[in-house]
Amino acid sequence: MMKRYSAVHELQPEDILLDSSNLPFRDTTHFEGRVAGPVSRRALGGVGIVFLLILIAFGSRAYYLQVMEGNAYSVLSINNTLHKSVVFALRGTITDRTGRELAWNTWELSSSTESTSTPSAIATTSMFALRQYTSLPGLAHVLGYLRYPQKDNSGKWWQPNYIGIAGVENSLDSLLQGTNGSSISETDAHGHSIRNNIIQPPIDGQNITLSIDASIQSKLNQVLEAHASQNGFQGGAAVIMDVRTGQIIALTSFPEYDNQAYVDGNNAVIAETSKNVHFPLLDRAIAGLYAPGSIVKPIFAAAALKENIISPDKQIDSIGAITLPNPYSPANPSIFRDWAVHGWIDMRTALAVSSDEYFYTIGGGYGGQQGLGIARIDKYAALFGLASKTGINLPNEQVGVIPSPDWKAVSFAGNEPWRIGDTYHTAIGQYGFQITPVQAVRFIAAIANGGNLLTPQILASSTPVSVSLGIPDSMLQIVREGMHMAVTSTRPDATVKVLNIPGFSLAAKTGTAQIGAHNEWMNSWSVGFWPVDHPRYAYAVVLERAPAHTASGAAPGMYPFFQWLIATHPEYIGDATNN
């Protein structure tokens, strides 16, 4: 036990031993060699008093805040809350190749919302921009529509993004969408914002420019829809494509729907559209499947030349029908009729007059003339892009059908074999053949441009993509000449003379496909390209489901459009002058 020093401070033994002799190098500045004394009680008391005063001050303040003013500060803490909010990115605008706005953002409701059921998206217009579409007819299917961001009853955004539903709003959604940001806001009990800080700014979507010309597409739609209505057709579609780049200049389908009403949630219009028996929601240009009829004859003419089964100058006598003996019933031969008697015709003339008999012969063979046969017919139909997706950047593109023995085995009961008549009908675009208008314009463009099968492009900034058909241009030139003769020939049976327009050099082909259980309906096609010597544009038109033997089909329907194009848009005519 340590001895405590007395007040007298008597000398202790250890103090005797502590002197300068055993600390010769002491550092007096660091208190070496000095005897430490105890801290005084006065100093300790002073420090204690200071700490006591601090404790009293903090305790008093805590008592005041938590006891005296506790309720007030509790309410303030509850009512002043922090909210994390979505800062919506602006969706990119859509323009046509000329810069005309086709879809843009607005903060005002359109007139079509008057009958809406006021969805949550419309009720919160101050939070994100609304979508507005052009009122020009003929563009709804290309543009499509979108669905607005959605929130639940508690105000939480369960779907904070725009969702493209159809058209380029759907297929180019990743470009148009942008990225939402977020903000932190503090509000008081009255809902007043005290402070608001954006912690992550939004990134707006990209603006896109389509390859289409809105004025061309709208006029094409108006002209064809009026013609279809006058002649009993229930719908139709049309496509115009640049044969050098694959860019789509016009892509229209009718009847169409009101895409503004769909984005605004106009329930009355939506209900009426869904009940329409003519399917206005169907984009017939890329998803409508139609028997092509005679418009596929140029494909099989090129195939016959490539396979060297016939010379383009060899003539076949068209007497109005091919008759095949029936070994099981000699009195009932199989007869495959032409639409007219054409006489002696070569390949160019056969294309000009659209002779079924000539293409029966080079398709399936007859009277010593070798035919392609169904395997090669299928091969070349597929080579020209039929029954496959074109690659156009739009949703819901359909594929179609090329008739074949395998297809027949699956589609028909009874294990019927493939017959020569099936080959004949396939060679003229019948018997289960189904294609889309965009497939039709694509293969016509390949004939026009010398054998390059292009991917149709909907963006103006797109790079051409194509594959070579491997067919010499000299052979395709025979086909082009035959299609030009269809327009310019003075023969009474030339099929497209209605489009022999002064100042406009066009090559074309028509097609008529009978449909219905008793062939009581028909679809009418017109395809072609211009100018003939230096092709730049190809077109394909189909008019759907008119009474059989309707006199005025797709080709006459294009006549007023071409006249308008010549008069108002000479930039699309180029050097299209008659030779």
pLDDT at residue 479, as a whole number: 98
pLDDT at residue 117, as a whole number: 40
- AA letter at 515: I
Split at pLDDT 50, 70, 90, the class of 84 is confident
pLDDT at residue 579, as a whole number: 38
Please answer whether residues 84 and 182 qualify as being in contact, where contact means their C-beta atoms are separated by less than 8 angstroms. yes
432-442: average pLDDT? 97
Split at pLDDT 50, 70, 90, the class of 119 is very low
Q: For the chain, first and last CA: distance in Å? A: 131
Split at pLDDT 50, 70, 90, the class of 515 is confident
Q: Which of 141, 165, 146 is nearest to 221 (CA)?
A: 141
pLDDT at residue 451, as a whole number: 97
pLDDT of 403 over the 70 cut: yes
Residue 412 CA, distance from chain mean position? 35
pLDDT at residue 231, as a whole number: 96
Tell me which of 344 and 122 has the higher pLDDT.
344
Q: How far apart are CA 561 and CA 50, in angstroms?
A: 100
What angle is formed at CA 17 by the lines to CA 15 and CA 21, rounded to 5 degrees?
Answer: 120
pLDDT of 97 over the 70 cut: yes
pLDDT at residue 50, as a whole number: 80
What pTM was estimated for this model as a whole? 0.83
CB half-sphere exposure, 282, CA atoms < 13 A: 17
Question: Which tokens in the block code for residue 572?
Answer: 């699309």
pLDDT of 30 over the 80 cut: no
Q: How far apart are CA 249 and CA 460, in angstroms?
A: 10
Split at pLDDT 50, 70, 90, the class of 21 is low
pLDDT at residue 38, as a whole number: 72
233-256: average pLDDT? 97
Domains identified in the chain and CATH numbers? 81-209 (3.90.1310.10), 214-572 (3.40.710.10)
- What mean pLDDT value characterizes the chain? 88
pLDDT of 122 over the 50 cut: no
Least-confidence region, from 9-23, 296-310, 358-372, 519-533: 9-23
Q: Which of 565, 569, 553, 573 is nearest to 227 (CA)?
A: 553
